[in-house]
Amino acid sequence: MSERTLSGVGATPLTATGEVVWYRPDFELPDRSADEVDARAERERFAVAQQLAREELENERARAEERIGADEAAVFDAHIQFLEDPQIEQPIVDAIENGLPAEHAVRDGYESAIAQFEGMDGRMADRADDLRDVRDRLLRLLTGTDRMDLSDLPDGSVVFAERLTPSDTAQLDPEAVAGFATVTGGRTSHAAIFARSLALPAVVGIGDELREIEDSEVVVDGEAGEVIADPDERTCRKATRTEQADVRSESVMTADGESIEVAANVGRPVEIEGATERGADGIGLYRTEFLFLDREEPPDEDEQFEAYREALAAFPDGRVVVRTLDIGGDKPIPYLDLPDEDNPFLGERGIRRSLGPDSALFETQLRALLRAASETAGDLAIMFPLVARVEEFEAGRERVEEIREDLRATGMAVDAPEIGSMIETPAAAFLAEDLATRADFLSIGTNDLTQYVMAADRGNERVGPLHDPRHPAVLRAIRHTVDATDGTWVGMCGEMAGDPALTELLVGLGLDELSMSAVTVPEVKARIADTDSTAARTLADRALRKSTKRGVTELLTEHETGVDQ
């Protein structure tokens, strides 16, 4: 049988080979008329199922915290809240009173809430999977359906599923499971996030084609976003080689001696350990908003201090770049008074909120950061998100200095940290020269920069092909930023930085630092060591002369394979 390739969204830039194991939770609901339903008995069954579900969630939270980390495990707290949400629970009770069996009432009660979240954008849409997780747990308990034990699968299993909920993914044993693939899902789903934390190859959002693959050997290529069924021997060998990059704990230089810093993007403490284990030189992007999500109130100064101190202590000889709170857009926080905006990506988010309605949170965060830097050996760097005006950067920098002076007045020794600006708006790219004279560094966030340069919502599948950093317009924005600086180091912390296939191009564009998911660090370091910077600059110059993404893609393929396209 010839091999078949299915495309989806790569969730983890790793590759593995294994045998398909389908995970299909299915519940047979009872068929009873209203006059056959004892409402009191059904209410009691529902209450018992709720209690059992809560106990399961608490146990799974503890297990996930031990295996993956406290921040990832916090999703189970949200599940408990959904389980006991009166806006969901009361309609279920009312439906039981009106003659529905508990199973049917649960199914219908969660349906409207799931539909509501599915109509939202970004991470809020991923909440629909959380609701499905709670619903399916209740249905399993009510129907007495056995649960497939995903923690006890044969070695080399590749799990296929319609979707994997957080509870499902938390069960996966990375020592046995080679990877997974799903019909639905995106890069920001909990399943994808857990996959990166567990360093499991994963491809999500493949679509209905995945259902056609049953008993088969497959390759899961989380870098290319592909699942290859019935791979031939050559494809299997290539997949095996892809995951063999050695970990280099030392910093790396190009083949001709040009030093490039390779750092890790982290959002949770557990990812810090993965970054050190995979040889990251430091942290190039600490996404602090994850400290603020999935909770009822913001973390206080002491909690943030401990989190930042842990990150700095993990890299005593490296730099830790912390992005200040970046909310709005696709990262809403329920306990904050966020505006209801028609286009939140172009609205009040990032530094705009930190200098406005969230100024108190901003001050608390800066105090925690500076306190942490005063007690550890690591080098703290602070950068501001979504800068579009020089005045925004200047105001942010002034606020850092004011708080530093306040702490120094108490007798605390606080050195001045590096202060930088993210380049993720066209305005910031055009103002790069002006920002570089005021900043210690610039860091290009290609996820948002691509979105704004191409006017293509990064969460909108209809314009997905436009959201590609290989487009010449995005590459020229990157080159303009690098060329506009004079002695100010320029890094990149978007997804583009972690694509090994683009490493040589990025070296050629003149980046001083690349920051990425920790799982990609070894491969990117290996690519840098094999790169001649002069040849890389020639490749970048050729790419910049292209006028279409297709032209750039064909050039890169030709360069990689040595085959003229």
Give Cβ neighbours of residue 29 (< 8 Å, ≥ 6 apart): 101, 103, 104, 107, 139, 143
Token representation of residue 131: 């609701």
Told to judge if 190 belongs to the known catalytic residues of this protein, a careful annotator would answer: yes
DSSP single-letter state for residue 151: T
Euclidean distance between CA atoms 182 and 200, whole angstroms? 13
Euclidean distance between CA atoms 262 and 247, whole angstroms? 12
Kindly provide the b/e burial profile for residues 69-104, where b requires at least 16 CB atoms within 10 angstroms of the residue's own CB. bebbbbbbebbeebbeeeebbebbbebbeebbbbbb
Cβ atoms of 202 and 158 closer than 8 Å: no
Neighbours of 460 (CB within 10 A): 12
Kindly report the length of the chain: 565
517, 544, 549: which is closest to 222 by C-alpha? 517
Give Cβ neighbours of residue 484 (< 8 Å, ≥ 6 apart): 432, 433, 436
- Is residue 319 classed as helix, strand or coil in its secondary structure? strand
Distances (CA, A) of 229 to 17, 33, 64, 243, 245: 10, 46, 31, 18, 24
Cβ atoms of 475 and 509 closer than 8 Å: yes
Cβ atoms of 497 and 516 closer than 8 Å: yes
Half-sphere exposure of 236 (CA within 13 A, CB side): 11
Of 190, 467, 471, 559, the catalytic one is 190
Told to judge if 236 belongs to the known catalytic residues of this protein, a careful annotator would answer: no
Euclidean distance between CA atoms 392 and 421, whole angstroms? 10
Cα Rg of the chain, angstroms:
25
Q: 263 — phi, psi (to 5°)?
A: -115, 175
Active site residues: 190, 493
